[in-house]
Amino acid sequence: MAKENEPLPDTARLTPLEGPIDCVLHIPGSKSIANRVLLMAGMASGDSRVSGIPDGDDSRHALAALAGLGIVHDELGIGEYRIHGCGHVIPREQATVDIGSAGTVGRFLPGLLASAGRGEWRLVSTDQLARRPLGPLVEQLRAWGGDVQPETDGLSFPLRIKGGSLAGGDATISAAASTQFASGLMLAAPYAERGATIRITDLDPDDRYIDTTADYMRRFGAGVDCSPGGRERVVTIRPGGYHAADVGVEADLNSALVFLALPLLVGGTVRVANIPGDTRQTGWQMLDVLQRLDATVASDNNGVTVSAIGKSIRGGFDLDMRALAESALLLAVLAVFADGPIGMTNLAHVRHHETDRLKAIAELLASLGVTVEEGDDWVRVHPATQPLRTATIDSRGDHRVVTAFALLGLAADGITITDAAAVSKTFPGFFRMLRTVGASVE
């Protein structure tokens, strides 16, 4: 994968920024969208041109998975590829595919393989991903006639899949644990004999992942209709498969939010120029949260701009974070400098992310001298009442821990992050971009 040459640090020490900032940034593309695009392009008939693919571990695993199945791609430039679609006939009829910790690949690929005709494939992953739930997807693919066999009792990876056909038809699946199960069914449905009518329950009404999946499916020629938003939605998908397309991937909003939040800590203005104002990425509500914290937010078709005076952060509220889980660590760091405690609820599922993120918030902030309360599915961060202690922050292998505490290190002295290379999962150029806004990273 083409990229700028930059070694990732094992340890990173941050120095606080002086004074307000004023910058315009281009953030790498969304890995969640990119992996949808790459897998659809790989299965489509004809050659697709895709751009904005981020240089992160998850996208690398998506490209490697395609290559392992015999689906060829050409690098055209940084983040730009020509994918030679296989027309849903997998060139390599037997293969073991290592998907690493790429949860999106692990949830999107099984249905595409189960419906692909002749072949038998084995999907293997890291232990961390194998501990994350997969059962609802496996059970529904089997209900459609898919031959999907976990090798353990945990209904997870390693996973053996025999190609054949999927009947499709009616299905009901819960999004309580993850919307990726529903997206995995949706992505496979154009290759089901009858298409599908999928009832998705337990949704957060503000969650846009289903719309994102549907939007990009349409770009590859799939016929998709979605009922209006709410806690339950019905998605109807007509049979017909995917066809080649030229598709660009917009900036990753969760990565962008780390930089858009920076004015709240140091003052000034940050603009991210490659996020459309009407983005469907889940996490857009965090822009409203930044306003609630006392930032000024403006958006248009070409980007999002956030301004603030710095360390004048309003707190004193609780927030349901079900649709904002990826920003929990970011908000926890901002809460350290607020004028009142900030509570975050409905976060039980983040205990099963790259690390137990609620535990990470409580323990890592406590090491800095911050008071934190923690429950089964909630956490409350109290404002710091004295200068933060000097501390070494163990990232616990979690890219969100790295980015959140790096942000804190630009506002408070003495923050060192170990295993900082964990940021490579989604944003290998993170520290390089920090330097572009004037940060000192040793």
Task: Output DSSP code: residue 324.
Answer: G
The whole-angstrom separation of Cα 399 and Cα 185 is 27
Of the residues 250, 326, 354, 442, which is catalytic? Answer: 326
233-238: strand order across its sheet:
169-174, 196-201, 233-238, 223-226
Strand partners, 141: none
CB of 70 closer than 8 Å to CB of 91: yes
Name the token pair of 66. Answer: 């395609």
The whole-angstrom separation of Cα 298 and Cα 285 is 13
3-state secondary structure labels for all residues of 112-128: HHHCCCCCEEEEECCHH
Q: How far apart are the first and last CA of the chain?
A: 26
**What is the identity of the amino acid at 54?**
P
Strands (E), 79-168: 80-86, 94-98, 120-124, 147-150, 159-162
What are the angstrom distances between the C-alpha of 73 and each of 48, 50, 165? 9, 10, 26
**What is the identity of the amino acid at 163?**
G
Is 326 one of the catalytic residues? yes
For the annotated catalytic residues, the residue numbers are 326
